[in-house]
Structure formats: C-alpha cells, structure tokens
C-alpha cells in the first residue's frame, strides 16, 4: 500500500496516569483523533475474540461450536460512493476517487479465531476529508450467536495518541451483528464514537438501522 502502519510513535509518560489506552464506555463514548494528533497516517482496527467458549460439555462431553467473528465496516465518501469492506464477497479494500492507494482495507479473514493477531482493518486518515462516515462492525459468520461467550474486544491503534478500546459488552442473545464504532469527520475534527449496538440479522439489517442505503446481494467466502 506504500504505507508503514507498523510504526507508532512512543507514548509519553507522566503523573501516574496511563496514556497507553482509552476505553470508550456508555458514559464516555467519544474520543477525538484530531485532538490527540492523529491527523494523518493509518488507523489500525483490531478485533480479537474467544473462538472456543469454555464450559458446556454436557452429558456426552460435547462443546459449543467454534464462533467465527468477522470484522468489517460500512463506508460512505463525500462524493456519494458507499459500500462495505468485508471478507464476505471478497470486498477487501476500497479507495477514494483518484487515490493511488487503498483508503480502507482488511488484512484477511481469521476463520479459526486462533490467530493471535486477530483480524485487522486499516483506515488511511490522510483521506479523512473525503470520508462522510465509516461504521466499524462485526458479525458472527458461523457458530451460535453468543456474544457473551465470544468476549470480543476491538482496539483502535491511531498513528498518534493512546490506543482506544471498545469492549463488546452488554450482549443481546440471538443478535448476529454488532455495530461497534463510528468514525465521523465534522468541522475539521475526526472522532471515534462507541456504538456497541446489537442487531438482529445480517448486513442488510445493519444498513437499515443506520440508513446506509446499499443494494445488497448474496455473497460467499
């Protein structure tokens, strides 16, 4: 892609207050990337989860089936283009009009959930002015829709400033999709807003909940 997203500046210390991580909660759901200096470079979004829930067993020692979570996002650019980045349908990357490199991309699909690195989505913040909104979400592709057992956590790694953690807590039984966080530039400021909103159904239902307006078709991976 022509961008080194593995290098991040060292974080300053100080005062007994940890600057290494910010956790978004219901009472403090928003953080400004712009105010913490992330005005360019690449934002990495990481999803990790427990693919093999413990317990269960039952009379015959059977375990719950593995949970396959997929990290994805809906995007909308200022020129009106909109779409989805996800492993389903091999929609792994997109670019703003005229850009020589990808603007948003996914590094792969961890089908087993055992990859220590999880799944990673990347957003080139150098094109933030061309983004209207980006909704980061995850969905259970295979396995019982049990978010409590999956114990998912999403961590955003900005090119500057502390890591931003969003825990997929307060799960709702039976929901297959979870809207995690919304990136929305406004008046020159790019912020991350915690959503953690569980949706019954798949991407179509998520689209309807947020009024995205994409024409969906059946996809495979």
When mean pLDDT is compared across 49-58, 80-89, 116-125, 174-183, the lowest value belongs to: 49-58
Q: In terms of Cα–Cα distance, which of 35, 40, 56 is closest to 4?
A: 40
Q: Tell me the helix, strand and coil percentages in the chain, rounded to 5.
A: 10, 40, 50
pLDDT value of residue 195:
98
pLDDT value of residue 221:
52
pLDDT score of 207 more than 90: yes
pLDDT score of 25 more than 90: yes
Percent of the chain with pLDDT over 90: 56
Burial class of residue 82 (count of CB atoms within 10 Å of its CB; 0-12, 13-18, 19+): middle
Task: List pLDDT tens digits, range 107-151.
Answer: 865 554 455 578 999 999 999 999 999 999 999 887 778 898 888
When mean pLDDT is compared across 30-34, 116-120, 156-160, 197-201, the lowest value belongs to: 116-120
Q: In terms of Cα–Cα distance, which of 178, 174, 156, 154 is closest to 166?
A: 154
pLDDT score of 58 more than 60: no
pLDDT value of residue 110:
54
* Most confident range, picked from 55-59, 66-70, 74-78: 74-78
Backbone φ and ψ for 36, nearest 5 degrees, come out as: -95, 15
Domains of the chain: 30-53+65-210 (2.60.60.30)
| pLDDT grade for 9, boundaries at 50, 70 and 90 | very low
CA end-to-end span of the chain: 23
Q: 3-state class of 88 per DSSP?
A: helix
pLDDT value of residue 197:
97
List Cβ neighbours of 5 (8 Å cut-off, separation of 6 or more): 41, 42, 44, 122, 159
Percent of the chain with pLDDT over 70: 79
Q: What is the mean pLDDT of residues 169-189?
A: 91
Nearest 5°: the CA angle 159, 192, 34 is 50
pLDDT value of residue 65:
65
In terms of pLDDT, which residue wins out, 5 or 22? 22
pLDDT value of residue 115:
55
pLDDT value of residue 204:
95
Residue with tokens 């600057």: 19
| pLDDT grade for 53, boundaries at 50, 70 and 90 | low
pTM higher than 0.75? yes
């Amino acid at each position: 892609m022509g961008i080194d997203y593995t290098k991040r500046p060292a974080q300053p210390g100080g005062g007994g207050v940890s600057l290494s991580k910010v956790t978004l909660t219901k009472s403090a759901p928003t953080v400004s990337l712009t105010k913490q200096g992330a005005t360019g470079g690449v934002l990495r979004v990481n999803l990790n989860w427990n693919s093999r829930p413990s317990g269960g067993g039952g009379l015959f020692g059977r375990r719950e089936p593995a949970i396959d979570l997929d990290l994805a996002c809906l995007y909308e650019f200022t020129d009106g283009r909109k779409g989805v980045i996800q492993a389903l349908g091999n929609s792994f990357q997109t670019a703003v009009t005229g850009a020589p490199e990808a603007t948003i991309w996914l590094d792969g699909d961890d089908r087993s959930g055992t990859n220590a690195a999880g799944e990673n989505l990347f957003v080139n913040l150098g094109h933030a002015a061309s983004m209207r909104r980006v909704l980061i979400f995850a969905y259970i592709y295979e396995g019982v829709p049990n978010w409590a057992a999956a114990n998912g956590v999403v961590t955003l790694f900005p090119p500057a400033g502390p890591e931003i953690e969003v825990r997929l807590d307060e799960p709702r039984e039976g929901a297959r999709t979870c809207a995690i966080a919304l990136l929305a530039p406004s008046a020159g400021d790019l912020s991350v807003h915690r959503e953690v909103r569980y949706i019954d159904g798949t991407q179509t239902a998520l689209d309807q909940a947020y009024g995205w307006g994409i024409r969906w078709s059946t996809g495979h991976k």
